[in-house]
Each structure stands twice: as C-alpha cells, then as structure tokens.
Structure 1
C-alpha cells in the first residue's frame, strides 16, 4: 500500500513540474510550484473518510436508500447522500449525470469521497468523521459552521449505536 501511495505522490510531483514548465514567466512557475507542492503534500498527508463514517452519513441522509430528489433549503437534494448539484460539480461530476449518480451507491460514494478529498484538507479542521460529516452537510467550511453541529450529533449517534 505504501508503494501505491508513493507512486501517486511521484506522479503528482511530475505533473506539478510539467505545469511549471508551461508557465509564461519564471515567477509564475515558482508560484505554481509552491501552490502545487502545498496541495500535493496536504492531499497525501490526510487520510480519507472512513467507510464507517460514510455509512453513517448515508444512514442519516436517506436511511441508505436510493431516494429520489427532495427540495432542501431551496434546491434539490438527491439519492443516497442527498447530493445537490453544486456538490456533484465540486466532486468532479462522476457518472453520466448528477441525479443518476446520486441514486447509484457506487457513483454517489465516489462523489462523496472526492468531495471530502477536495475540501477536507482545505477546511482547517481536524481529520475526523466530525469534520467530514459537517463538510458534507454545510459545504467546504461546514466544519466551522455552528449550524452543522446538530447534523454531526445525528451521525455521531449512528457511529456509537
């Protein structure tokens, strides 16, 4: 497993240097390298969301069923994890389309994992299920939003039950 992590780390480094080579000025290249290096280090130093945490988020959102779309705070939320369109776009838009992906367990789980990999390290919060649950519920900075505490308590009850 460590060899696989190292492989992807090295691929990230090579891609970083390739991007820097394309920069128009030396200053741009250094800035690109600094930003890419920071992203590479943080993205590989943070573990991913646990299966247990994902399962509890799924349970809280839909009883882990492929429910349809429902109106939630002014926009539609769909499927196992009640994914909204902006969330789907932020996770890289896996699968054919948003609603189909949200109702497919594998695709929806991939989307949530990618969203967490994107925003977890940038949140400034600890690498915990609480952080991931609150980001899922409240967006990229959800772990700092008091309005996501009750959602976390629901996920926490699932984890302890």
Structure 2
C-alpha cells in the first residue's frame, strides 16, 4: 500500500529550469496513512497549534514532548533538541516511527482497544489518551479517513 506524492517546482536559473522532487511516502499501514491525513492532509505544513493549543510540526503535527518521549531519534551530538525535532517531524519515516514507539510504551493503558485506536489516542492525548474522552474527536477523524 503506497501513496505517491511528487511535487515539482520549476525555477528559472540563468535561463535553465530546475525540477525539485520530494520523496515518495510509503505507508506501512492504513492507520498511519489515516493519521497522517487527519493531522496534516499528509503534507509537510510546517508548524501550527492544534485545537488544544499545542504546537505540532510536520506530517503528524508532532510536538517536542513527543519527540523527547521517543528518545530524540536522529539527534546528533551537540545538536539542539528543537532542530532535531523539526527535522524529524518533517520526515515521514522518523515521525511515524516516533509515534509508534510512544504508543508501544503506553499501549497497556489502552486495554481492549484496537492497535489503530491505541496509536491514535496516545498520539493525541499522551500516555493516558485512551483513558480520556478528549481524544475521541481525533479518533473519530482518523476513523473517517480509514473508510
């Protein structure tokens, strides 16, 4: 299951044209694809605040606290956490792995929920995302994209 997104930009450079191609996204599950669409329409939209006022960036609107909870993947020695977070959030592979890692840490708190609901609600509400009704709005949006 894959979704190919190629964006081309033609720029004049001394009379010549340059074409920029962005990486294709390979979805490893329908759930991650639905979450990507629910969060950002699966586009690298920079950063913005969600309906709870949290700042999130990239494909999954990942916040810096989530990045730190998944042990700051790709952060180089001496690199600022915020720079590494921005780079990871704008990279589909890095951000999706981070989200799945956090969900696997807290999945026991979502007893009886499907894997997709577990990932989505922990992503939206943190460690106790499955234990609060505040994450149902996000889960309903993800379910909409699953159909």
Instruction: Establish whether TM, by shorter chain, passes 0.5.
Output: yes
Measure the CA separation in 2 of the matches of 1:109 and 1:153: 19
Unmatched 5+ residue regions in structure 2?
1-27, 76-83
Structure 1 residue 123 displacement after superposition: 4.0
Q: Rg: which structure is higher?
A: 1
Structure 1 residue 118 displacement after superposition: 1.3
- 2:40 matched residue in structure 1: 62
- 2:66 matched residue in structure 1: 87
- 1:6 matched residue in structure 2: none
- 1:152 matched residue in structure 2: 139
- 1:105 matched residue in structure 2: 92
Q: Structure 1 pair 119/146, CA: closer, same or farther in 2 (3 Å)?
A: same
TM-score by length of 1: 0.63
Structure 1 or 2: more strand by fraction: 2
Residue-by-residue CA offset, 1:59-102 (whole Å, 9 max, x unaligned): 10001111101133344210000001111100111123101100
- 1:126 matched residue in structure 2: 113
The 8 Å contact of residues 57 and 90 in structure 2, kept in 1 or not, is answered as: yes
Structure 1 residue runs of 4 or more that deviate by more than 6 Å after TM superposition: none
Residue-by-residue CA offset, 1:98-143 (whole Å, 9 max, x unaligned): 0110001111111112111112234445343122211111111111
Which residue, 57, 71, 80 being the options, matches 2:49? Answer: 71
2:129 corresponds to 1:142: yes
Measure the CA separation in 2 of the matches of 1:122 and 1:91: 17
Alpha-carbon RMSD: 1.6
Number of equivalences = 111
TM-score by length of 2: 0.69
Q: Secondary structure at the match of 1:70?
A: strand
Measure the CA separation in 2 of the matches of 1:66 and 1:125: 33
Unmatched 5+ residue regions in structure 1?
1-49
